[in-house]
Chains A and B, each alone.
Chain A
Amino acid sequence: MNTLAKLLRVYAVQIKNNFVREAVYRVNFLAGMATDVVWIGVEFTLFTVIYANVPQLAGWTKPQVYFFLGIFFASDALFTTFFQRNFWNFSDLVNKGELDILLTKPVHPLFLALTRWINLTNLFNLALGLGIVVRFGPEAGFQGGWRWLVLAMWLLVGMSTQLLLRFAFSIWIFWTERSWAITRMYYQFFQFATKPDTLYPKMIRYLILTALPFAFISSIPARALLHGLSWGEYAGLAAVLGCFLAFNTVMWRLGLKRYQSASS
């Protein structure tokens, strides 16, 4: 309990410090927002163009897809706010030996590594995503009320999925100096998360529900909120996320071992 309280105190200072840092760079803040607005615009245009030609896509109506996009942007904004930049800096941690310093601190090094950068301004994008959800929720069939709590829970699931996946793609830095190829691969696969999973042919769909569970970021949450999931799907979700957690834990330990045996 004591350690938890301490971690919270450390986190509070991290948030405060990041706030100070962002206040210094107001332009970056605006630019970051602009990037996401344009991104949202592009995804919306894409579906608007498509729905101008067909009334339905694999059972998804236009408002439902918009609702899905809202969920996607909201959960992505959560990840971007709290974790994204830490992963950009992950390679420096190992290649430039910044991990050395973290290892001598009396707090779990991974905690320090993953909480250093927080981009609070990205919370604006969370608001934007939620705005989309509010706007298209009723037309899509989302009933609101206490379900907003469930929605919040699903956003956290989406964020956690992205955290686990991104970590699984980043951890290889301990074994290879050129990690950008893997990072790029992550962002390529990430594209799969931007469309509802039921659109995909069986093979890809199976893949993004298991080995590369990008569907958990927004497809599964949106479907759960609109139509509900089967027990099998819930079990699968828990199993896959559990596996990733276990995999990441093992890899982190192995990586640290290697780091300590390789550094001079």
Chain B
Amino acid sequence: MIIEAKNVSRTFRSTKKAEGFKGALGLLLKPEYQSHDAVKNVSFSIEEGSFNGLIGANGAGKTTLLKMLSGLIAPTSGEVRVLGYDPFKRPIDFRKKIALVMGQKAQLWWDLPGVDAFDLLRAIYDIPSPVYKERLNRLAELLDVTKHLNTQIRRLSLGERMKMELIGALIHWPKVIFLDEPTIGLDVLAAHKLREFLKEFNRVEKATIILTSHNMEDIERLCSRVLILKTGEMIYDGKPEGLTKKGECRLRVRLMQKPTADELAGVSGVPAAAIKTPNGGPEADGEAEAEDEAEGHVDRDSVYFTTKVDLIPTVLQKLMAKFTIVNMGIEEQSLESVIQRLYTQA
């Protein structure tokens, strides 16, 4: 196991500040603290050479966890081991073997071409010249930025800039790579290229990668394993396929009549909990609607049944016997919608 976390928690304590000068004075004299658990009792272990996705809504504790793994902050309790080291002690050997890429924080010089920045990293990581040259050529080729190596970073597009950041992060051939939202702000094509590269790098170099992202395509295409955090707690750890139940789908039916969920359950044989009606029903709270809007196909007049594919004909027959169907359709369950449901579930 290359990374191990045992019962890791992280609590932040911050001072409450009241308004204005009086508040500032109060802060000096009698500070009031509020604590906030960013990560709660999380345990997992990660195999060498695996590609892992870490997902969760904003503020779920992803970045905090990543920072603990890369040694930027110490866990409040629990134990973290990365490559056999205690990350927070940050021994030099540990730092030489890891890389942290933050999509929102650039480490390269704005006014310099990429090569010069990489040259500095070469000195920092003590990379012998021939090895450095070979790696740089390979990375640049894989990422298709060879012709941009001598262009000022500021003159590059966001996608090219991110590729440069990646080269900078990988030039020392890290064993463990932490990627915090590497595809943020990138267009579809650029994100796709980046993903292809990461996949290739992981496959060929056997580097262990942990990636956080809000882009479900990143997770679907790359990760053999997903860890899902929700308000600091781990709510899922396993294969991405395990999230979407095999053979299950959503049946959308538009009826002339307006029956309640219980009536529908009685008629169709599908449990009421798996039915969503336009005028209420178990799933029709505000959050679930928000979820549908995010999916981009809100049909407020339709009823949704979540059920097994092979049961659909039976359900339809039963419904047709009692109601008039105006319109209908079957929808796949995407990873995105499943995860959105996980985020919003209480």
Contacts and interface: CB of A to CB of B under 8 A. Distances in A.
Interface in A10-40: 10, 12-14, 16-17, 20-21, 24-25
A19 to B, nearest CB: 10
Contacts of B63: 264
A104 B117 contact: no
Interface string B115-150: 011011011111000000000000000000000000
B12 interface: yes
B200 to A, nearest CB: 24
Contact of B123 (A12, A96, A101, A261): A12
B210 interface: no
B310 interface: no
Contact of B99 (A10, A14, A104): A104
B36 to A, nearest CB: 8
B120 A106 contact: no
A98 B105 CA distance: 7
B120 A17 contact: yes
A262 interface: yes
Interface in A131-190: none
A16 B116 contact: yes
A106 B119 contact: no
Interface string B59-75: 00001100100111110
Interface string B82-98: 00000000101101101
Contacts of B100: 100-101, 104
- Report the interface size class on chain A: 20 to 34
B14 interface: yes
Interface stretch (B106-114, B217-225, B237-245): B106-114
B41 interface: no
Contact of B126 (A6, A97, A103): A6
Interface in B1-17: 12-14
A263 interface: yes
A115 to B, nearest CB: 10
B111 A25 contact: yes
Given A96-B105, A104-B100, A263-B67, A17 B152 contact: no
Interface majority SS on B: helix, strand, loop or mixed? mixed
A227 interface: no
A6 B92 contact: no
B179 interface: no
A260 interface: yes
Contact of B72 (A21, A25, A96, A103): A103
Contacts of B119: 13, 16-17
Nearest to A263: B73
B105 A106 contact: no
Interface majority SS on A: helix, strand, loop or mixed? helix
A20 B63 CA distance: 35
A17 B64 CA distance: 33
A100 B63 CA distance: 12
A17 B98 CA distance: 25
A104 B98 contact: yes
B38 interface: yes
Contacts of A16: 116, 119
The CB with the most chain B CB atoms within 10 A, among A25, A100, A112, is that of: A100
B261 interface: no
Contacts of A253: none
Nearest to B126: A6
Contact of A100 (B64, B72, B120, B152): B72
A97 B67 CA distance: 12
A87 B122 CA distance: 25
Contact of B74 (A9, A14, A260, A264): A260
A46 B63 CA distance: 56
A202 interface: no
Given A263-B67, A264-B12, A20 B116 contact: yes
Contacts of B93: 106
A249 B119 CA distance: 30
B74 A100 contact: no
A105 B120 contact: no
B102 interface: yes
Contact of A106 (B64, B67, B73, B96): B96
Given A10-B124, A103-B72, A21 B105 contact: no
A161 to B, nearest CB: 29
A260 B92 contact: no
A196 B120 CA distance: 41
Contacts of B126: 6, 106
Given A104-B99, A107-B124, A24 B111 contact: yes
B116 A101 contact: no
A21 B111 contact: yes
Contacts of B113: 20
A93 B102 CA distance: 14
Contacts of B96: 106
Interface of A: 6, 9-10, 12-14, 16-17, 20-21, 24-25, 96-98, 100-101, 103-107, 112, 260-264
6 contacts: A98-B107, A104-B71, A104-B95, A105-B95, A106-B95, A264-B64
**Would you list the 5 A-B pairs with minimal beta carbon distance, nearest first?**
A106-B95, A10-B123, A101-B107, A13-B123, A9-B123
Given A13-B122, A262-B14, 10 more contacts: A10-B124, A17-B120, A21-B111, A21-B112, A24-B111, A24-B152, A98-B107, A103-B72, A106-B96, A260-B73
